[in-house]
């Protein structure tokens, strides 16, 4: 977001996400979500990516078991810059 050609503090100009989703006929679903956050973000860090994932299985008509994880590849984010 730019106003008068100036970037707003802590709002990255570029952000993006991509999701891959798999479903089978036996009630199994798997999903991988990837995120990119550009520099100048609210964590005061350089640009970074991270991935989340989950797997679920329908166990009955009204019951589903789900297992999920965040930052599954353990990407190291740029160090926090406390002083400018």
- At residue 78, the 3 state secondary structure works out as coil
- At residue 42, the 3 state secondary structure works out as coil
In a domain, 33, yes or no: yes
Quote the CA–CA distance of 53 and 67 in Å, as a whole number. 9
Q: What is the number of structural domains in the chain?
A: 1
In a domain, 80, yes or no: no
Which residues make Cβ contacts (< 8 Å) with residue 62, sequence separation at least 6?
none
In a domain, 78, yes or no: no
pLDDT, position 8: 74
Model confidence at 84, pLDDT cuts 50, 70, 90, reads very low
For residue range 37-64, list pLDDT tens digits in order: 888 776 677 888 999 999 999 999 899 9
Looking up tokens 């100009």 gives: 13
Average pLDDT over residues 12-23: 93
Poorest-pLDDT segment among 8-12, 55-59, 77-81: 77-81
- Name the residue range of residue 9's domain: 2-69
How far are the Cα atoms of 29, 34, 41, 80 from residue 21, in angstroms, in the given order?
7, 12, 28, 32
Which residues make Cβ contacts (< 8 Å) with residue 57, sequence separation at least 6?
27, 28, 29, 64, 65
In a domain, 23, yes or no: yes
């Amino acid at each position: 977001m730019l106003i008068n050609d100036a970037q707003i503090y802590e709002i990255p100009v570029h952000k993006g996400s991509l999701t891959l989703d798999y479903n089978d006929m036996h009630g199994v679903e798997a999903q991988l979500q990837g995120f990119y956050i550009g520099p100048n973000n609210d964590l005061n860090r350089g640009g970074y990516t991270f991935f989340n994932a989950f797997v679920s299985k329908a166990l009955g008509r009204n019951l589903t078991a789900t297992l999920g994880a965040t930052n599954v590849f353990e990407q190291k984010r740029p160090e926090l810059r406390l002083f400018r």
